[in-house]
Amino acid sequence: MPTWVKLVEEAMKNLGGSASLSQLYEETKKVAKKKDSEKLGRNKNIEAKVRQVVQLSGLFCQKEKGSGVWSLKEG
């Protein structure tokens, strides 16, 4: 069972490495449905979980502060 960090990371990669939160919400739902529908069903507040992951995991950064666009950190 993949973690939320892995699901969001895969979603961001599917979106080319950079996306708005709204794009990332939708793609993460698609990835979660394909990979682990049980996890998707257990968490009714997916948007909050995606925000938590991008803000706290250390894998993502905002393209420009306040832009609402996030990307995978390089390196």
Report pLDDT digits (tens) over 36-56.
667 666 777 889 999 999 999
DSSP-based three-state secondary structure for 37: helix
User: Is the pTM for the entire model greater than 0.75?
Assistant: yes
For 67, counting Cβ atoms within 10 Å of its Cβ (0-12 exposed, 13-18 middle, 19+ buried), the class is: exposed
pLDDT confidence of residue 41: 67
pLDDT confidence of residue 50: 94
Once rounded to an integer, what is the mean pLDDT over residues 11-38? Answer: 91
Domains contained in the chain, number: 1
DSSP-based three-state secondary structure for 63: coil
